[in-house]
Amino acid sequence: MGAYQPVPLTDFPAFSEAERRQRVTEFRTFMERRRTIRFFSGQPVPKDIIAEAVKAANTAPSGANKQPWHFAIVSDPAVKKKIREAAEIEEKEFYESRAGEEWLKDLAHLGTDSSKPFLETAPYLIVCFQQNYALDPKTGKRSKHYYVQESAGLATGFLIAALHIAGLATLTHTPSPMGFLRDLLGRPKNERAIMIVVAGHPAEDAMVPTLTKKDFSETCSWF
């Protein structure tokens, strides 16, 4: 076990109360403008912008600082086509037999179905994997990861926020099951895909459903 060797905290932002209030309010109002987009344009996005967003995701906290995630960034049209074809097979099965009546009813107002053209149209698919345990690539030795789901969830949340701050549209797509993604992208057996973050620019004629969010009083309690 490595010895605990703390270092002084430096560069921590020092804001006035007014600045904190302004910054958090600006962030909140900016995030309120984020919408899940299902209609993307093929307009290209510079690779370095996507890289910066993933680097931001990598700053997320994680159990024992194990960072149990991997982001597979897909831009190759041939690979995107394969992902779409495999995802639509699973989605067709979902809509026709796996999803119950209640689930389909809850999805109806979103206008979703088994057709997923955005998986080919958008310039980037960022496939998010959680690493259920560490696997040494040379020896094959396993070691533990901790709070894997929570850690990977935090990282993907950071990723989505970073992409929105960059002015890009996103969609979290979760075909079920997602085992085909690990096989298609050649990822190791210790990883499990948890979502595809579709990223790019919205189509000029993009439409979004009318949605309302729960009131603050419903999602927060003070003690």
Assess contact for 200 and 45: CB atoms under 8 A: yes
Beta strand residue intervals within the chain, DSSP E: 69-74, 124-131, 133-135, 142-144, 169-173, 191-200
User: Which residues share a beta bridge with 195?
Assistant: 128
Binned at pLDDT 50, 70 and 90, residue 116 comes out as very high
* Spatial distance between the Cα atoms of 142 and 132, rounded to a whole number of angstroms: 10
* Spatial distance between the Cα atoms of 74 and 198, rounded to a whole number of angstroms: 10
Specify the pLDDT at position 1: 58
* Spatial distance between the Cα atoms of 22 and 146, rounded to a whole number of angstroms: 36
| Residue in the structure block whose two tokens are 């403008």 | 33
Evaluate the CA torsion angle 181, 185, 189, 195 in order and state its sign. negative
Which of 38-47, 109-118, 153-162, 183-192 is least confident?
A: 109-118
- Percentage of the chain beyond pLDDT 90 is 82
Evaluate the CA torsion angle 70, 71, 74, 80 in order and state its sign. positive
Checking if the pLDDT of 32 tops 80, the result is yes
Checking if the pLDDT of 122 tops 90, the result is yes
Three-state DSSP state, 190: coil
Specify the pLDDT at position 112: 86
Mean pLDDT of 111-133: 95
Residue-wise pLDDT tens digits, 53-62: 999 999 999 9
Question: Which one-letter amino acid corresponds to residue 203?
Answer: A
Q: 64, exposed or middle or buried, with CB in 10 Å at 0-12, 13-18, 19+?
A: exposed
Show the tokens assigned to 101: 């009546």
Checking if the pLDDT of 75 tops 90, the result is yes
Question: Which one-letter amino acid corresponds to residue 157?
Answer: G
Mean pLDDT of 57-72: 98
Which residue from 166, 188, 192 is spatially nearest to 177, judged by alpha carbons? 192
pTM reported for the whole predicted model: 0.94
* Spatial distance between the Cα atoms of 203 and 40, rounded to a whole number of angstroms: 5
Specify the pLDDT at position 110: 85
Mean pLDDT of 184-203: 97
